[in-house]
Amino acid sequence: MSETRDRPYHHGDLRRALIDTALNMLATDQNWAFTLREVARRTGVSHAAPYKHFRDRETLLRELARIGFVRLGKSMTEAMSLGLPSTRAQFMAAAQACIGFACQNPGLYRLMFSSDADKTIDPSLHDAAMKTFGILLGLLERGQRDGSFRPVAVSALAAAGWAQVHGLAMLAISHQLLEEKVGSAPVPAALDVLLDGMCCTD
Amino acid sequence: MSETRDRPYHHGDLRRALIDTALNMLATDQNWAFTLREVARRTGVSHAAPYKHFRDRETLLRELARIGFVRLGKSMTEAMSLGLPSTRAQFMAAAQACIGFACQNPGLYRLMFSSDADKTIDPSLHDAAMKTFGILLGLLERGQRDGSFRPVAVSALAAAGWAQVHGLAMLAISHQLLEEKVGSAPVPAALDVLLDGMCCTD
DNA sequence: CCTCCATGTTTACAGGAGAAACTTATGCAG
DNA sequence: CTGCATAAGTTTCTCCTGTAAACATGGAGG
């Protein structure tokens, strides 16, 4: 077979390749039936090869989740850096970026908040999640300083904002934001209601 | 063995027994590694017996999710029926009931919103979810009529309220409402921020 | 009383997680 | 350059799961 020499015995960067394959599957598959063997198969290696790079299935899942948080953070940061006039508009943009990210990577987003991605046993995953959360927190603090957001405890704003965005994202990818229930543009509508509660300008 | 006669060959109500076992496991296990065979084992029947009552694993999961929505609806209705003075207080009570339900049944709550419980292929599950959502919607409409909530589109209030409550529940059972991030009592704090945006009394 | 059928059980098979033993290539010591 | 230690693959094995098929049982209706 000519295939024998298509790829050297040693892959070169199998770890990266496995992660890429898995991320692609997560972005594509709605079903979310993640299988280590299928990742290996699609990457073109034997089903035991991944164990040379990840202790077990969950270790790979946690690494994927970590990358997800990094990417999500980047999306939100970019959305906030578009030179929008008000802090309120920046919050809206970051929130919509997060929900857009979830809709484009439903499997990955679910994974990031699933019990498979246990943050209590992986400091780097925990750090990545904290860092992304920190982006939101920074925006809220800035908004309070410039007088956009009400001077209540910033932790209250943070909990409210985070829960709202995460809840909308989860409902969106679960296809539960049906028009019959919540109107035609539920995301900005809901965010506006929340922002009315967060902002000073009534 | 004396066990041979402990239970008659025909269980009597195996369907119910399987559901009860599964619900107990869901309430207990944080890990959420649901296995049909283990449900059968713990119920004391052979691993193939469940197939006489459920087409496949997912059919059982959907039935469990349906029961979850019914129970959640009951919890919320009860919380609203405590004779609380304001509609705002009733919303707060219903929201906390929902989040409390999630914390007491993390596995079940996750299931209810997971892709395993596909509402598009099970009308009775879809109906149960819609009905529970309807409780929230009814409360919001009542609140608008009595002047508690602002006269914006009720769908906006519904999307905001639902997302907020669901988001808080998901974050709570993912142990992501850490004090370092969101203060010591994030749930009421966040709900108050949202309610400030929903209510007329500023 | 006998027979049917719903509801059980046993057996069988495919596919996944993960461990262990084996193989190959690569980099480094001499 | 030679040769070996080792990282990175592969094969093989065991245990577990979901699910189908064949078989067994016992209670209800003729």
Tokens matching residue A80: 């906030």
pLDDT at site A118: 92
CATH classification of the domain holding B38: 1.10.10
Q: Chain B contact for A32, CB < 8 A?
A: yes
Average model confidence (pLDDT) for chain A?
92
Please list every residue in chain A whose beta carbon sits closer than 8 Å to the beta carbon of residue B57.
none
B3-56: pLDDT as tens digits: 334 577 677 799 999 999 999 999 887 777 899 999 999 999 999 999 999 999
pLDDT at site A3: 36
Q: Return contacts of B46-52, CB within 8 angstroms, 24+ apart.
A: B49/B11, B49/B14, B50/B14, B50/B18, B52/B14
pLDDT at site B2: 33
| Same domain, residue pair A71 and A140 | yes
Please list every residue in chain B whose beta carbon sits closer than 8 Å to the beta carbon of residue A120.
175
Pairwise CB contact (< 8 Å): A196 & B197: yes
CATH classification of the domain holding B156: 1.10.357.10
Is the distance from CB of B57 to CB of B18 less than 8 angstroms? no
pLDDT at site B32: 74
| Same domain, residue pair A172 and A131 | yes
B199 — phi, psi (to 5°)?
Answer: -90, 160
Question: What is the 8-class DSSP label of residue B149?
Answer: B
Q: How far is the CA of B10 from the C1' of D26 (A)?
A: 8
pLDDT at site B202: 58
Is it the case that residue B1 has pLDDT exceeding 70? Answer: no
Residue closest to sugar C1' of C23 by CA: A9
Which of the listed residues B11, B31, B54 is the one where a domain comes to its end?
B54
| Same domain, residue pair B118 and B154 | yes
A122-179: pLDDT as tens digits: 999 999 999 999 999 999 999 999 999 999 999 999 999 999 999 999 999 988 898 9
Candidate from A21-25, A192-196, B115-119 with smallest mean pLDDT: B115-119
Protein-contacted bases of chain D (C-beta within 7 A):
8-12, 16-22, 25-27
B contact test, residue of A103, A130, A193 with most B CBs within 10 A: A193
Average model confidence (pLDDT) for chain B?
93
| Same domain, residue pair B11 and B24 | yes
Rounded mean pLDDT, B126-147: 97
Is it the case that residue A84 has pLDDT exceeding 50? Answer: yes
A177-186: pLDDT as tens digits: 989 889 999 9
pLDDT at site B180: 86
Rounded mean pLDDT, A68-96: 97
Tokens matching residue B164: 């907020």
Please list, in sequence order, all residues whose beta carbon lies within 8 angstroms of the beta carbon of residue A124, skipping any fewer than 6 positions away. A66
Is it the case that residue A120 has pLDDT exceeding 80? Answer: yes
| Same domain, residue pair B161 and B106 | yes
| Same domain, residue pair A39 and A131 | no
pLDDT at site B5: 44
Is it the case that residue A1 has pLDDT exceeding 50? Answer: no
| Same domain, residue pair A121 and A71 | yes
Q: Structurally, how many domains does chain A consist of?
A: 2
CA of A52: nearest nucleotide by C1' is D8
Which of the listed residues B19, B35, B54 is the one where a domain comes to its end?
B54
| Same domain, residue pair B4 and B99 | no
Residue closest to sugar C1' of C26 by CA: A10
Rounded mean pLDDT, B88-98: 98
Is it the case that residue B148 has pLDDT exceeding 60? Answer: yes
Which residues between 128 and 187 in chain A have a beta carbon less than 8 angstroms from any beta carbon of chain B? 129-130, 133, 137, 150, 152-153, 155-160, 162-168, 170-171, 174-177, 181-183, 186-187
Which of the listed residues B16, B39, B54 is the one where a domain comes to its end?
B54
| Same domain, residue pair A43 and A81 | no
Percent of chain A with pLDDT over 90: 85
Pairwise CB contact (< 8 Å): B195 & A197: yes
Tokens matching residue B59: 């059919």
pLDDT at site B29: 78
CA of B9: nearest nucleotide by C1' is C8
pLDDT at site A180: 86
| Same domain, residue pair B40 and B133 | no
| Same domain, residue pair B7 and B85 | no
| Same domain, residue pair A130 and A163 | yes
Pairwise CB contact (< 8 Å): B130 & A166: no
Domain range enclosing A47 = 1-54
pLDDT at site A175: 87
A9-38: pLDDT as tens digits: 667 789 999 999 999 999 887 777 899 999
Which of A159, A170, A177 has the CB atom closest to B183's CB atom? A159
Residue A146, Cα to own-chain centre: how many angstroms?
Answer: 28
Please list, in sequence order, all residues whose beta carbon lies within 8 angstroms of the beta carbon of residue A125, skipping any fewer than 6 positions away. A62, A63, A65, A66, A69, A117, A119
Pairwise CB contact (< 8 Å): A163 & B190: yes
